[in-house]
Amino acid sequence: MREHFPDREFFMRSQGQVRFIKISSRVQMGAAALVVALLVGWTLSMGAMAWSKYRADADRSSLLVREARVATAQERLDAYGNDLEGVKQDLIKRQEFLEATVPMLPDDIRNDDTVSDSTGQATETVEKVGALLPQARGLAEIEARQLAFVERLTRYADRRSKRAENAIRKLGLDPRTIVRNAERQAMGGPLEVLATGRDGSIDPRFERLGLSLARMAALERGLDGIPQVLPAEAPMVTSSYGYRRDPFTGRAAMHNGLDFKGPIGAPIYAASKGRVTFVGRKSGYGNVVEVSHGNGLMTRYAHMSKFRTRVGQSVAAGDIIGAIGSTGRSTGPHLHFEVRINDRAVNPRPFLETAPDVLKEVRRVPELARRQSGETNGQP
């Protein structure tokens, strides 16, 4: 080791004086050892974090695909006999949770083999409890109805997730990426554990429901952010995505968007739901607005004459965000529109042409189900 870290001398000249500084081999070896220890510690901590994340994702995925455990009649009988008042409180907690989800549940829910079916077990439980503990039969019936409701709602969430997944794939995107990105979003708030029992345990059927609802919400939020509205009321697209002859140099050049010809001052619309992340000038683009839609997807609107939005503002599909102009590198008034995924430009045309029909079909089924449910219940 001393051969690699010999004693070293350095000199410094200042105002005509020379000073010598000596660094011994022991000091050098100590410093090197400290650096190596820090690097090893950092590597181990990163590895531990990555492994922990991998295990958490694996556990969550396995819970989504396996059937939730069904409590046996004997387990519920023991619970009723040991603490009738405690069971009542558990059921009240569950009921509060279920009442908050009632508006989401339409009538057209079919069976799904990936979700548990407690119908037979629940009937057995009610009969057994009623025979041995007649005073608890009513509670057993309430619990059976609750579990049936949870399983139906889980099937509903899974069916909506499947429809959203299919729509996202038709548009050339990966639904798995959308779900992963949703899990990485900043979030917080007080801890409210899902339908826990008095001992802190979570019924696996409620946990399965919670994961299904979260997945459904993530996928449908992703659909909302997909470009689906024409950004300008233009009669024609004057320049498409891809290679073209540059209007200034005459040479072949890549065009990363669509150009919509229109008069100065004509409105420009947000192509989908999102949040404004940039308002200002960019070289070549002139006046620009950029809207982030989540999942790495962003739309850019260039050559504007006016801004009608601000950074941080939330916009819905079709909201006016500016006006057509001819600022920047432009030969005349038009809107240059781009779609970018992880800052890589992609062709906007498939989104604008396909998304409206795909999303209309996805949203039509739940809407019809809600209307049918309302008519059945005598609601307007």
* Strand-pair partners of 232: 268
* Same domain as 244, residue 130: no
pLDDT of residue 290: 97
* Same domain as 305, residue 174: no
The secondary structure of the chain, three-state, reads: CCCCCCCEEEEEEECCEEEEEEECHHHHHHHHHHHHHHHHHHHHHHHHHHHHHHHHHHHHHHHHHCCCCCCCHHHHHHHHHHCHHHHHHHHHHHHHHHHHHHHHCCCCCCCCCCCCCCHHHHHHHHHHHHHHCHHHHHHHHHHHHHHHHHHHHHHHHHHHHHHHHHHHHHCCCCHHHHHHHHHHCCCCCCCCCCCECCCCCECHHHHHHHHHHHHHHHHHHHHHCCCCCCCECCCCEEECCEEEECCCCCCEEEECCEEEECCCCCEEECCCCEEEEEEEEECCCEEEEEEECCCCEEEEEECEEEECCCCCCEECCCCEEEEEECCCCCCCCEEEEEEEECCEEECCHHHHHHHHHHHHHHHHHHHHHHHHHHHHCCCC
Task: Report the distance separating Cα 150 and Cα 97, nearest Å.
Answer: 10
Assess if residue 89 is contained within a domain: yes
Report whether 274 contacts 222 (CB < 8 A): no
pTM for the complete prediction?
0.55
What residue numbers bound the domain in which 14 lies?
Answer: 8-63
* Same domain as 340, residue 242: yes
pLDDT of residue 286: 95
Return the structure tokens found at 80: 């009723």
Task: Report the distance separating Cα 300 and Cα 289, nearest Å.
Answer: 6
Question: What is the number of domains present in the chain?
Answer: 3
* Strand-pair partners of 346: 339
* Same domain as 84, residue 203: yes
* Same domain as 269, residue 210: no
Closest residue by Cα to residue 294 from 317, 273, 308, 325: 273
Rg of the chain in Å (alpha carbons): 31
Return the structure tokens found at 318: 């079709």
Cβ-based neighbours of 354, under 8 Å, separated by 6 or more? 170, 171
* Same domain as 27, residue 171: no
* Same domain as 286, residue 308: yes
Task: Report the distance separating Cα 170 and Cα 155, nearest Å.
Answer: 23
Return the structure tokens found at 368: 């019809």
pLDDT of residue 232: 92
Assess if residue 379 is contained within a domain: no
Report whether 338 contacts 257 (CB < 8 A): yes
* Same domain as 70, residue 197: yes
* Same domain as 213, residue 90: yes
Q: Which residues of the chain have pLDDT under 70?
A: 1-5, 9-21, 53-85, 88, 95, 98-133, 135-136, 182-202, 235-236, 358-380
* Same domain as 41, residue 167: no
* Same domain as 308, residue 250: yes
Assess if residue 363 is contained within a domain: no
Report whether 340 contacts 346 (CB < 8 A): yes
Closest residue by Cα to residue 131 from 95, 90, 80, 63: 80
Report whether 94 contacts 205 (CB < 8 A): no
Closest residue by Cα to residue 65 from 76, 57, 73: 57
Residues listed for the chain: 380
Residue 320: give its domain's CATH number.
Answer: 2.70.70.10
Assess if residue 361 is contained within a domain: no
* Same domain as 270, residue 199: no
Assess if residue 53 is contained within a domain: yes
Share of the chain above pLDDT 90, in %: 21
Compute, in degrees rounded to 10, the torsion defined by CA atoms 195, 198, 204, 209: 0
